[in-house]
Amino acid sequence: MAGGPPFDLQVTHEGLTALVAAIRQEADGKQLRKELAKNMRNALRPGAAHAKSSIMALGSSGLGSGPSLRSAVAKKIRPEVQLGGRWSGARVKAFKTPGIRGFSNAPKRINRRNGGWRTLTFGHEPWRTQTGKPGWFDDAFVNDAAAYRAAVHEAMEDMARRLAARAG
């Protein structure tokens, strides 16, 4: 590839690894990595917002009193980008909620398609099985997954073009 970048431009995991390696070779590599991560997070923000609105649409009947489970889970949804280390990539993640009613795995349990979680009725016996909104997180990305992937790839390609222009 004459006049192109000195690395592969494919938008795969290997392409991201090559892009990060090329950024490290630059004098202002730390700043470029921060900018790439920021652009990739911005590409995923609409997906995170969609997932947040999906959990907030969950009905509140039977969820009990106390701190709002829906808003606690929604606050823990955010795009995550890591460049280097054991895992490199970009994703939207629902983090654990340890402080909310002793229910640290709330995002996972509410999303579960079968089962649910066991809870006491008003803090006393008998135990009951409570279900959330199966697939609330997964379904938020089904229709637009290709658009989010394309936006992340576009952020990667923009950085690759900038590095190629520098290499001249």
pLDDT digits 0-9 by tens, 8-33: 334 566 778 888 888 888 888 889 99
Q: Please return the burial class of 104, using the count of CB atoms within 10 Å of its CB with bins 0-12, 13-18 and 19+.
A: middle
The confidence band for 67, taking pLDDT boundaries of 50, 70 and 90, is low
Angle value at C-alpha 46, between 105 and 116, nearest 5 degrees: 25
- Report the pLDDT averaged over residues 72-88: 88
pLDDT at 23 (0 to 100): 87
The confidence band for 84, taking pLDDT boundaries of 50, 70 and 90, is confident
Q: Are 44 and 92 in contact (CB under 8 A)?
A: yes
Query: What is the value of pTM for the model shown?
Result: 0.77
- Report the pLDDT averaged over residues 144-163: 89
Q: Which amino acid is at 3?
A: G
Q: Are 73 and 107 in contact (CB under 8 A)?
A: yes
pLDDT at 75 (0 to 100): 92
Q: How far apart are CA 56 and CA 38, in angstroms?
A: 26
Q: Is the predicted pLDDT of residue 68 greater than 60, yes or no?
A: yes
